[in-house]
Each structure stands twice: as structure tokens, then as C-alpha cells.
Amino acid sequence: MCPSKPHQGPSLWILPSQGEPNWAKNVSSRGLSTRTVEVVKSEKFTKAGIIPPLLDLNQNRSKLKMYIGHLRDLCQERDPQILQALTPPSSYHRSQHTAWETELHNMTPEQLESELEVCERESAELQEYANCVLQQIADHCPDILEQVVNTLEESC
């Protein structure tokens, strides 16, 4: 059985580009303090910079779940005992609801950072589990592993 290790990867932050957007000038001209404008600008850029990586991670998690599902099905067809010792991570059974992407746009930068950390951790757990499933297949049914490799090569 593969031990579970928490992912300690760095968070991804996109820094603002040069120049001040029109919306920041408009806010500044309304008499708000420079600090308020900086906070608003920071939040805007942080949200814009962190949402695409979140969506990419979510897509990656979905692909990993699908890949794991195919591997598990192959094992079930051959010998259900192959994966008996492995327990999938809880994120494998959790589905992302359709409103999640919309909710991202309403989150604060802190909530987005937290969500990014969760997505990174879950992706790492799913990847580790997929590796463990592949190892079990290699140990018990190398011909299935060859079938998986051939299928992957054909898809590339």
C-alpha cells in the first residue's frame, strides 16, 4: 500500500502587469485613499491571476479521476483482489458541482488561495493513488500495464 504524503507545493501567484487600468484611475478619482486603491487593484489582479490555475487544476483532477476509474475497471474485470489493499483518497469520490466555477469569482483572495491549496493537495493525492494503482497492476498483472501503456501511446 502506498503511504499518503501531503503535498507541500507552492501557491501560484500572478503579479500585476505594468500600467494602471482605467478602473483603478476611476476609483482613485472618487477620493478613495491610495491604500484602498492598492487593495482593490491587488484583489483584482490576484483573482484574475489565481482563477485560471484553479480551473486548470480542477480539469487535471477530473482527468485523473477518469484515468483512475479506467484503471480500476480493468482491475475489477481481471481480479477484484488487485486493489483490495488500496483505498482511494476522499477527493476521488467527491464531484465538483457545476456552480463551483461561478463561486470562484465571488471568493476573496484568501478564499481563492485556500481553494488553490486544496486543489493542489487533492491533485497530488489523486496522482499518488494513480501511481499506486499502476504499481499494483505492474505487480499482479503486467499484461494489463502493457495494455495501459499502449493505449496511452496511441492517444498521444
The answer to the question of residue 134 being in a domain is yes
The pLDDT of residue 2: 57
The answer to the question of residue 85 being in a domain is yes
Mean pLDDT across the stretch 59-70?
Answer: 92
Whether pTM exceeds 0.85 = no
The pLDDT of residue 126: 96
The answer to the question of residue 130 being in a domain is yes
Q: Name the residue among 6, 3, 5 with its Cα closest to residue 117.
A: 6
- The confidence band for 59, taking pLDDT boundaries of 50, 70 and 90, is very high
d(CA 57, CA 61): 6
> 88 pLDDT exceeds 70?
yes
Whole domain around residue 76: which residue ranges?
54-155
Total domains, the chain? 1
The three-class DSSP label of residue 83 is helix
- The confidence band for 130, taking pLDDT boundaries of 50, 70 and 90, is very high
CB 27 within 8 A of CB 37: yes
Residue-wise burial string across 63-89, b where 16 or more C-beta atoms lie within 10 A, e elsewhere: ebbebbeebbebbeeeeeebbeeeebb
Burial class (CB in 10 A: 0-12, 13-18, 19+), 28: middle
CB 57 within 8 A of CB 12: no
The answer to the question of residue 73 being in a domain is yes
Mean pLDDT across the stretch 97-123?
Answer: 90
CA contacts within 13 A on the Cβ side of 89:
26
**Start-to-end C-alpha separation, the chain:** 30
Q: Name the residue among 90, 6, 100, 12 with its Cα closest to residue 59.
A: 100
Mean pLDDT across the stretch 96-125?
Answer: 89
pLDDT in tens, 14-58: 333 334 333 333 333 334 344 433 443 444 446 778 899 999 999
Location of C-alpha cell 478619482 = 29
The answer to the question of residue 14 being in a domain is no
The answer to the question of residue 110 being in a domain is yes
The answer to the question of residue 103 being in a domain is yes
Mean pLDDT across the stretch 104-129?
Answer: 93
The answer to the question of residue 124 being in a domain is yes
